[in-house]
Structure 1
């Protein structure tokens, strides 16, 4: 195949435009460097009337919001999903992992829940606490200044609580709890479970002239047309372009490999254009991989050369190893006291939880390590396909005659609208070497690039954690005077523990560490084996915490960018 070489050489080539790629773009372009951003999907701007879905009604859709090619429905702003036609992945027999991809400018930051939590000192050094896994080569004091910078640049609402395991930051005013959340607070108090305001990256107060303020339409998963919530494109890449930064976007461009020279240093990347199906080569002094933990691992494993026979940066044979995702299990309950709601007022709020429960457990009384937080949903969100009223569930579990057609259906929907409260447990799994992704030697995608094969199973510690989640959800529903919806999952159903990848918090495939034999990057996210290659996605995580990973991706990407700037100035790379 003839490869066309793009004539211009860039200071930095960044692969991926999500949280880590966007932050690296912003910092390096603002520092005056010539940056190329290579994104596998199309250009996307949520303010563009051609792509904007915010403020559209379900009846604007012939499917009432149900999706055909989007796993979270037509209104969710993610181009892709767990299965993308022409871009498969495979599994080791007997294992399961679901790999969610969003191919578009901004990546998965266009649809995520914006839950923006800091890791604590304990999260970086958890092996010292319980003996599981490995410690990070950095601690909270290394990352804290960058958390502060991210808070101020992007904006996050919340409250100062003084909790050691949930570090405070610079917060915007949080929205008040809605009625279902007040019920949750009351129920949680009976079980001594803490509840604090949510910490979400949505602007409840203006922070600059480029972004608007949340007006409580509750549709953040559609990506915000006034840029009030955080998405990488609208909050990082667009400002980098406006501030005079030299940013060149290569969209619809699927990276095949990182190219290297005789010394083993990166010289750029090769990519295949989805527009003309031809392969191109970009040249750059520094390559930043931020394609997501698994996509970055795939690129590195496919980047074989004489100097990197096992794949780029893979002398340790650890690229793809230690893959892990947040644990996740769910529950929901019908609360009779929430029947016959007054629907004459707007209770939409932000597109996410106004309150949540950080981890509270006492491990001296528990049979599993680490922990989880509880996310809360409910209220009177805009009805559309699958909005939460399931007549069969009510009939089966409460002996009620609910649903049907015409007036009876309309009356029952109004009666039970807003009477369900749901919970999502999101916790920390243990990083294990035998959970991994690797190149499948027999399968390629539609572009001829070898695909990933996953080997992933849950451990006993994760199953015990899921059981605790289900017991807690049951107790909370009882405290609120409600009844569980659905049968409580038992051991035969892994206590409702979702498959790996389904929480979309996959991390750890290119873990950082001080020893090149037991890690892929150093503490500045720089490859041990090629000093002009950096990773700014969640692949560098030595371990996940019981917190969502995006705020830490952003902080580490800013930290790595500062180090790149320093090394370029000193002509070390």
Structure 2
């Protein structure tokens, strides 16, 4: 097949445009470098009036909000999902992993809940703390300056609380708790569970002229038309272009491999265009992978050559290994005191929780080593496709049929809507070498690129953590005067622990370390084997924490970008 090769040589080629790729684009372009961004999906701008985004009713959609190419429905802006036609992945027998992909400019930052938490000092030193997993080659003090910069550049609301492992930052004013959250606060306090204002990246105050301020429509999942919430395209890539940066974006371009020369150094990337199904090559002095933990590992494992027969950067044979996702379990309850609510003020707020509970437990006294935080949901948000009331659950409490259609449905909705409160735990699983992804030699995708095969099982430690979540949720619901909905998940159901990959926080496939024999990158996320290739997604994470990983992806991407700029100036790469 004839491959079309570009004559232009870019200073940096960045693969992926999400949190890590967006931040690298911003920092490297602002430094004057000529940057090419290669994105597997289409261009996307939430401010485009043709885009179905905010301030539209479900009846304005032909499908009433049901998605076709979106796993979470039409009101969520992340194209793609766990299953994408023509782009399969496989599993080792008896294992399970769900791989979420969002192919579009901005990647998964168009979907996420914008919960913006820093990793704490303990999170970088897991093995020292409890003997499980490994320590990072860096600590909190190495990343803190970049967390500070990300706070100020992106904007995050919250409060400084002086918590040991949930570090303070530079916060905008947080929104006040909504009514169902006030009930949660009282219930949690009775169980000794602390509650604080959430830390989320929506602007409650003006920070620059490029972005608007949140006006509390509560629809952040649709991606914000005034750029008040954070998405990588609107808040990093567009400003980089606006400020005069040399940024060229290649959309609908699926990277096959990183190309190399006779010396084994990277020379650029090869990609398939979705528009014409032809293969193209871009040339670059530096290649930065930010395609997501699993996608970047897949690209490198497929980048085989005489100099790199095991895949580019994989002399250690640990690429793809130590894959792990956040743990997750949930429970909801009916709160009778919230029946027949009168809505006397804007109850929507931001698109997500106004309060949360960081990990409070002492793991030395528990039967699992790592913690979790609690996310709270409920309230009076706009119903859309899939909204329903479960008659069986409400019958159990009232002995009366609930729902139906016509006047009876309207009356029941008014009576019960907003009376259900839910809690979700998001915790840390332990990184294990035996949980991994690899290339499946028998399967290719629609572009002829070999796909990933997953091998992943939760251990007893994650299951025990989920049991603690369920016990805590049920206790808090009873403290609120509520009744848990549904039966409590038991051991046979892993206490409601969601399957690996379902929380969409996967990390660890290209872990960093000081020893090239046991890691893929160094502490600046530079391949040990090839000095002009960097990885700035969550692949280099040595461990996950009991926090969402996006803020750490961006802080580390900024740190790696500074290192790239310095190394280019010194002509070391």
Common topology (TM > 0.5): yes
Partner of 2:569: 569
Structure 2: distance between partners of 1:189 and 1:396:
28
Q: Unmatched 5+ residue regions in structure 1?
A: none
Distance 1:205 1:388, change over 3 A: farther
Q: Residue 323 of structure 2 contacts residue 506 of structure 2 at CA under 8 Å; is this kept in 1?
A: yes
SS of 2:476's equivalent in the other structure is helix
- Residue correspondences, number: 573
CA distance in structure 1 between the partners assigned to 2:121 and 2:167 by the alignment: 9
- Local SS of the residue matching 2:454: strand
The more displaced of 344-353 and 97-106 is 344-353
In structure 2, the residue matched to 1:278 is 278
Partner SS for 1:101? coil
User: Are 1:86 and 2:86 matched, yes or no?
Assistant: yes
**Distance in 1 between the 2:63 and 2:490 partners?**
35
How far does the alpha carbon of each residue in 1:4-39 deviate from its partner, in whole angstroms, 9 at most, with x for none? Answer: 001110000000000000000000000000000000
Matched, 1:287 2:287: yes
Quote the Cα distance in structure 1 between the aligned partners of 2:200 and 2:110: 14
Say which is worse superposed, 394-403 or 424-433, in terms of deviation.
394-403
1:397-429 per-residue CA deviation (whole Å, 9 max, x = no partner) reads 553321122111110011001000001100000
Where 1:102 maps in the other structure, the secondary structure is: coil
Shift of 1:363: 1.8
In structure 2, what is the Cα distance between the partners aligned to 1:208 and 1:71?
33
- Shift of the 398–431 alpha-carbon distance from structure 1 to 2, 3 Å rule, reads farther
Q: Distance in 1 between matches of 2:385 and 2:422?
A: 17
Q: How does 1:3-402 map to 2 (within 5 A)?
A: 3-387=3-387, 389-396=389-396, 398-402=398-402
Q: Which residue of 2 aligns with 1:492?
A: 492
Give the SS at the match of 1:452. strand
Give, in angstroms, the shift of residue 390 of structure 1: 2.5
- How far, CA to CA, are the matches of 2:58 and 2:179 in structure 1? 24
What is residue 509 of structure 2 aligned with on the other side? 509
Secondary structure, counterpart of 1:345 in structure 2? coil
Kindly indicate whether the alpha-carbon contact (under 8 Å) linking 1:78 and 1:110 is maintained by their aligned counterparts in 2: yes
Alpha-carbon distance between aligned partners in 1 of 2:364 and 2:315, rounded to the nearest angstrom:
40
Partners of 2:85 and 2:319 lie apart in 1 by 26
CA distance in 2, matches of 1:65, 1:486: 27
Q: Determine the C-alpha separation between the residues in 2 that align with 1:507 and 1:544.
A: 7
* Cα deviation 1:352-377 (Å, max 9, x = unaligned): 11000000012232111010000000
Task: Calculate the TM-score normalised by the size of structure 1.
Answer: 0.99
In the aligned structure 2, how far is the partner of 1:111 from the partner of 1:542?
Answer: 25
Aligned-partner SS, 1:540: coil
Q: How big is each residue's C-alpha offset from its partner over 1:91-112, in whole Å with a ceiling of 9 and x where there is no partner?
A: 0011110000000000000111
1-structure distance, mates of 2:97, 2:145 = 35
Q: SS at the partner of 2:551?
A: helix
Deviates more, 1:545-554 or 1:392-401: 392-401
The 4+ residue runs of structure 1 with deviation greater than 4 A are: none
What secondary structure is seen at the aligned counterpart in 1 of 2:539? helix
Deviation at 1:537, TM superposition (A): 0.0
Residue in 1 that maps onto 2:406: 406
Q: Is the 8 A contact 1:397 1:486 kept in 2?
A: no
- 1:456 is aligned to 456
What is the Cα deviation at residue 396 of structure 1?
4.2
Contact 2:269 2:282 in 1 (8 A): yes
Partner of 1:535: 535
- The reply on whether 1:547 has 2:539 as its aligned counterpart is no
Alignment of 1:464-479 (within 5 A): 464-479=464-479
TM-score, length of structure 2 as denominator length: 0.99
* Contact kept? 1:120, 1:164, Cα under 8 Å: yes
1:518 corresponding residue in structure 2: 518
Give the secondary-structure state (helix, strand or coil) at the position aligned to 1:343. Answer: coil
- Looking at structure 1, the residues matched to 450 and 508 of structure 2 have their Cα atoms a distance apart, in angstroms, of 21
136-145 vs 387-396, which deviates more? 387-396
Q: Is the Cα–Cα contact under 8 Å of residues 157 and 199 in structure 2 kept in the other structure?
A: yes
Contact 1:71 1:81 survives alignment (8 Å): yes
Instruction: State whether residues 374 and 423 of structure 1, in contact with CA within 8 Å, keep that contact through their aligned partners in structure 2.
Output: yes
Q: Distance in 2 between matches of 1:353 and 1:526?
A: 36
8 Å CA contact 2:187–2:479 kept in 1: the answer is: yes
Partner Cα distance (2:299, 2:212) in 1:
37
Distance 1:135 1:397 in 2: 49
Match for residue 436 of structure 1?
A: 436
